[in-house]
Structure formats: structure tokens, C-alpha cells
Amino acid sequence: MTAPVSSALTSPPRSAPILAVSHLSKVYGATVAVDGVSFEVGTHEILGLLGPNGAGKTTTINMILGVLQPMSGSITIDGCDLAQRRRQALERTNFAAVYAPLPGNLTVAQNLRVFGLLYGVHRVRERVEEVLGEFDLLRFRDTKCGVLSSGEQTRVALAKAMLNRPRLLLLDEPTASLDPATAREIRASIREFAARTDVGVLWTSHNMIEVAEVCHRVLFLSRGKILLEGDPRALPATHGHETLEDLFVTVAREPLTIRRSPEEE
């Protein structure tokens, strides 16, 4: 694993977005899951997508991953419109989540090789060796994933997510259920990866301390709409709260009491 980095975050300079979501909507019967959502993720940026359960986060991520088709709106990944150039857009994307473990009956190396072949990774054997080293997995090469600890499985999932050197990396609760030391290593590794490569990261989490440490910018979703946007370290004070967790609780329980400031419009 990469050594921990400083907790201070400097927002990356603005550039052409890696991910551009425009007026995205999804309706299930009478339920509006996502309602006209628009946002961008820039190069080297880690954007936190936050909100209580049912806010529309998972539906938004599944539309970006091409699992769900939006009712309206557009998704552009590294300049490729997902609706018109699906293969090109998705080959620039990868995903990891603790609730989506890799097949437990395959070894770490077997899993990485299979996914490397699925992604069409060039010189897949060499690339597997690289990510095994980067994520401190060499000693688990021949271990079946099903017997690994939660932290080890998370590292394998992240190694899988890096195989194709994605331009867009989606991380859904990437450190959930991990011990604090392992979670810190994972956060440091992802921050270092975002800083040194031309990637944009979309990160969801219910751990507000983690979000404030990792994310350059956050979006709060409520009832399918973006309610707030800004720097996670400055946003709470703007709305009369001491911590990001306090603000999250207000968004979850009393979203109608929140008003966007002029800077957020």
C-alpha cells in the first residue's frame, strides 16, 4: 500500500471533466428516484456523492455504470456519450464496493486475470503483477478470495478496479466494515492515485469524517435532487453546523430547512 499522505487537501485546477452528468432523471412508477441531477467530476478530483438512504445515490451510480437506463438526461465519460458510445465510455470506467466482492472460489490472481481479460487489458499478466504489488497482495496471489479478511478483500476489489487504468473510478462505501488502520491506508492509496493519474473519482460514503478527509468537493442528494454542493470542510459552517455529520443529519431529517447559499446556486 502507498504510504499515508497529508490530510490537507487542495482542490485540483479545473479542466475538462472526466464525468459530466446533465439533467439526469429516473422514475419507477410514481416514484421519482433521480430528478434532473447535473454535476461534473474533474481530473484529479474526488467528488463525494452524499445523502441518506433513498436519496438517489445508488440509482445515479447505476446509470453512470450503464446498469440502468435514464428516463432523460445525458452522461459523458471522458468525452464519450454513454448512450451513443457505450463501449468506449464504459471501458474508461471501473467500480468497487465492499458489498460487491469478487468470486470467492477463485484465487486473487485468477480473479484479477479474469477481470483483466474482460476489460481487454493490454499485457494482462504484467498488469496483474503491477496491481498485486501496488496493493500489497503478492503474498495472497494463490489464496482464494473467499477466505480473505474484509480489508484484504477490499484491497483486491480496488486492485481489480485499477486494472484498466480507469479515467473514472466509482467507489461506493469503499471502506465500510474496515478497521480504522486499514481504512486509513485505503483512503491514502486512493488519494495518491487520484493525485498522480488523470482520473476522476466519485465516492459515496456515510462516514462524514472520511468524506471531509478525502473529498475535494461534495454533493448532497435529497429526494432525487442536489440540495447542497461545496467544500466538505467549509459547507457545515455555511449552513450553521459544526460538522459535516451534523449537516448530513439535517439533510436526512429536515431537508426543507436547508437553503442553498448564493455561491451554491
* Percent of the chain whose pLDDT exceeds 70: 91
Q: Are residues 29 and 128 in the same domain?
A: no
Tell me the per-residue pLDDT of 175-199, one tens digit each, with 9 for 90 and over: 877 788 888 888 888 898 899 989 9
Check which CATH number belongs to the domain holding 84 and give it.
3.40.50.300
Q: Are residues 26 and 133 in the same domain?
A: no
Q: Are residues 13 and 134 in the same domain?
A: no
Rounded Cα gap, residues 170 and 38, in angstroms: 17
Q: How many domains does the chain have?
A: 2
Q: Are residues 185 and 239 in the same domain?
A: yes
Q: Residues with Cβ < 8 Å from 62, sequence gap 6 or more? A: 68
Q: Are residues 11 and 88 in the same domain?
A: yes
Q: Are residues 5 and 123 in the same domain?
A: no
Q: Are residues 8 and 88 in the same domain?
A: yes
Q: Are residues 121 and 28 in the same domain?
A: no
Tell me the per-residue pLDDT of 201-212, one tens digit each, with 9 for 90 and over: 999 998 999 999
Among the candidates 126, 150, 165, a domain finishes at: 165
Among the candidates 119, 149, 165, a domain finishes at: 165
Q: Are residues 83 and 190 in the same domain?
A: yes
Per the prediction, the chain carries an average pLDDT of: 89
Report DSSP state, residue 156: H
Among the candidates 132, 165, 198, a domain finishes at: 165
Q: Are residues 116 and 200 in the same domain?
A: no
* Domain housing 144: 100-165
Number of helices (H) and strands (E), helices first, in the chain? 9, 10
Q: Are residues 106 and 223 in the same domain?
A: no
Whole-prediction pTM: 0.86
Q: Assess contact for 264 and 257: CB atoms under 8 A.
A: no
Least confident of 66-75, 96-105, 161-170: 96-105
230-to-39, 45, 105, 131, 156 alpha-carbon distances in Å: 12, 13, 43, 33, 32
Tell me the per-residue pLDDT of 233-248, one tens digit each, with 9 for 90 and over: 999 999 999 999 999 9
Q: Are residues 88 and 104 in the same domain?
A: no
